[in-house]
Amino acid sequence: MLMYNLTLSNVLSDCQRNTNKYCLTNDQAEDIFNQISYVEAIQCADQYVPNLPLMKRNAIIDVAFTSCRALNTFRKMKKALQMKNWIEAAEELKDSRWCIQVRERRCTEDYNCIRDNGNSSN
C-alpha cells in the first residue's frame, strides 16, 4: 500500500470510522491483489507441493490466501498430495479448521478440485 502512500492502519481506521480520508480505489485494490497477494499465494502453494495438477494447485492456492503459515500446518494433506492420494488430501482439507472458518461453498469447491480424479490436468 506504500505505493499509494497509504498504510494498513490508516485504511483500517477509515473503515472503522466510516470516513474516506485513506481509501483504496477498486483499481488500487485489484493492483495489490494481482501484484502481491496472488503472487505470494502462488509461490506458497508451489513450495508446499510442487507440480500439482492445475485444479488441485488452484485449490491449494486458494487455501494459501489465508496465509502460507496456515497452509503449512496441513501436514497430512501435504503428504497425501505428494503421494497423489487425492481423496485423502481432500478429506484432510474438509476436516480442517480452515474449512469451518471459510464459507461452505469455498470449502466444498476446493475439496472437489482436490478430490476430482478426472484426467491428469485436473
pLDDT tens digit at each of 122 positions of the chain: 677 777 878 777 877 777 777 777 778 777 777 677 888 999 999 999 999 999 999 999 999 988 899 999 999 999 999 999 999 999 999 999 999 999 889 999 999 999 996 544 44
User: In angstroms, rounded to a whole number, what is the distance separating the alpha carbons of residues 83 and 93?
Assistant: 15
Task: Catalogue all structural domains in the chain, each as residue range(s) with its CATH number.
Answer: 2-115 (1.10.530.40)
User: In angstroms, rounded to a whole number, what is the distance separating the alpha carbons of residues 23 and 106?
Assistant: 28
Cell of 75: 501436514
Prediction pTM value: 0.75
Going by C-alpha positions, the residue among 65, 63, 68 that lies closest to residue 44 is: 68
pLDDT of 1 reads: 66
C-alpha atoms less than 13 angstroms from C-alpha of 119 in its C-beta half-sphere:
1
Q: 49 near 84, Cβ under 8 Å?
A: no
